[in-house]
Structure 1
């Protein structure tokens, strides 16, 4: 048995229409379909919902549930905002910067461009408070991924023993962290 791919990823939203329009207008994603029912099919719980599906490219589907009868959505107060996020790949740095400009001109606050060595990213929040990352590959991505692949198990084992960041891949963010330490 082997998983083929992610079928879809689902999140909660505050307003289904606003969410669909935001992803269409800010990230150029197409609205695929909507499902609305008064009963949850898996649990049979009576709970009206709107479930929308958005095309995130190349067979990737992003879905949202609007749940009008539930308490207002929130975040896990024990998890920092930067941890839980959705990351989407864009073609190259020019496209990444074009998205950054488009988002900022539309009033979206954008963090970055952050150089992760293997890729470059910008970060922002959708209208539901979900953190979004757009990432493009670095021209040296393949060589850097090979370096990371060679040390992944050593890093994981050291982390598991010590719960301290192993130094095997310090090179990744050296440019970003210059002068901060």
Structure 2
């Protein structure tokens, strides 16, 4: 039996009010090919765009007509990799480079496109460069892998987080899990009452939809076609 867990980030979805500017930045400055740009399934007047980091990893953008445009540092955006921001929001995103040489080459590319870059900085377990993207994005490119936990888990910080020795051991060694073939029933939300997608009543109604009904009725496998009345 092996430890079952996600193996990477398939896509990080970011809010935007200017899809063209974001896609241009990520294609021209970062070198990421645009792979999708379409009406978002089931969301009125909303665009969805994807740029490719690799065949299994993307940066996505959602342009909703009601996306707010005001940036408040410390609330909506951190502004940099060390700034405060509202809990549950993205503090910054770090993209992976395969080697230190690739990190420097990416710095050259980004600077050549007119974007200022700070670094590299050696953090021990990884090395990073830092820069800003459109609409206040705090961005990093880093190289490094296989973090040695025994070196980088600080007992003082563990204690300040209220984590006991037993809890730390469990966090470092997740329980293995044997697949049930998709047969586990939907639990109630008592264990994680704050892990909700929607306002509570709508969340409960959504999560009550049987799995097979959600698959049958909510799946959309082709881009919607725009009509006079909206996406079809």
Aligned ranges 1:104-115 → 2 under 5 Å: 104-115=111-122
- Asked if the contact 1:90/1:135 (under 8 Å) is kept, the reply is yes
Give 1:154 deviation, angstroms.
Answer: 2.8
**Of 54-63 and 71-80, the range deviating more from structure 2:** 71-80
Q: Which residue of 2 aligns with 1:44?
A: none
Aligned ranges 1:116-155 → 2 under 5 Å: 116-137=123-144, 145-146=147-148, 148-149=149-150, 152=153, 154-155=155-156
User: Matched residue pairs, number?
Assistant: 150
CA distance in 2 between counterparts of 1:136 and 1:150 reads 18
CA distance in 2 between counterparts of 1:82 and 1:134 reads 13
Aligned ranges 1:39-118 → 2 under 5 Å: 40=43, 47-75=44-72, 77-78=74-75, 80-83=78-81, 84-118=91-125
Paired residue secondary structure (1:135) = strand
Give 1:14 deviation, angstroms.
Answer: 2.9
Paired residue secondary structure (1:128) = helix
The structure carrying a bigger helix percent of its residues is 1
- Asked if the contact 2:13/2:59 (under 8 Å) is kept, the reply is yes
Q: Which residue of 1 aligns with 2:159?
A: 158
What do residues 73-104 of structure 1 show as CA deviations (whole Å, max 9, x unaligned)?
42453464224111111121111111112212
Q: 1:63 to 1:101 in 2, by over 3 A?
A: same
Structure (1 or 2) with the larger CA radius of gyration: 2
CA distance in 2 between counterparts of 1:32 and 1:115 reads 33
CA distance in 1 between counterparts of 2:10 and 2:109 reads 29
